[in-house]
Amino acid sequence: MAQNKFITLIETILAMLALIAGVEYFKYATMTNYEWFHCTVQRSLDPSSSIVEYTSVGGESCDKRGQFKSIVKAASREFDPNYDDVVFCIKEDLKNERIVGYGANVKDAELVKSSCDNVIYW
């Protein structure tokens, strides 16, 4: 009788640990793939320079915070500041009610400055 209760206790503990692990994995997956759940980044290249324009689109859950986060994440994946000197800026497009980001190599910094006021040298 006591052995059956012990086995039931072990099974219950293992089931609870598996449930907790599943929840933690879901939290981790949604944190690393935020744009998949909220915003999708669209990038367009300027063929005459190294400037990349990032815009973020999505459904109702794609708010300004989500747009900003997904644009920064996409730009940091594409440009590696350890190997390249990078210029980056983000501005709000009031006409289309969206956030737009620009990234480029330092050699095209003047072109990025013409698009944005707040330029960050990475």
Q: Record the tokens describing residue 26, joined without a space.
A: 């879901």
Q: Identify the band that residue 35 occupies on the pLDDT scale cut at 50, 70 and 90.
A: low
Same domain, 43 and 28: no
Task: Please tell me whether residues 48 and 9 are part of one structural domain.
Answer: no
**Structural domain boundaries enclosing 12:** 1-32
Q: Are residues 6 and 58 in the same domain?
A: no
Q: How many domains does the chain have?
A: 2
∠18-19-21 over CA atoms, to 5°?
65
> Could you tell me if 44 and 12 lie in one domain?
no
Inform me whether the pLDDT recorded for 77 exceeds 60: yes
Q: How far apart are CA 9 and CA 49, in angstroms?
A: 65
Give yes or no: residues 21 and 42 share one domain: no
Query: Both 95 and 76 in a single domain?
Result: yes
CB-based burial label for 99 (10 Å; 0-12, 13-18, 19+) = buried
Query: CA nearest 102: which of 87, 92, 83, 117?
Result: 87
> What is the predicted pLDDT for the residue at 50?
82
Check: CB of residue 44 under 8 Å from CB of residue 53. yes
Are residues 42 and 20 part of one domain? Answer: no
Position 33 scores a pLDDT of 65
**Bridge partners (DSSP) listed for residue 100:** 55, 91
pTM score, whole prediction: 0.65
User: Do 74 and 114 have their domain in common?
Assistant: yes
Q: Are residues 20 and 45 in the same domain?
A: no
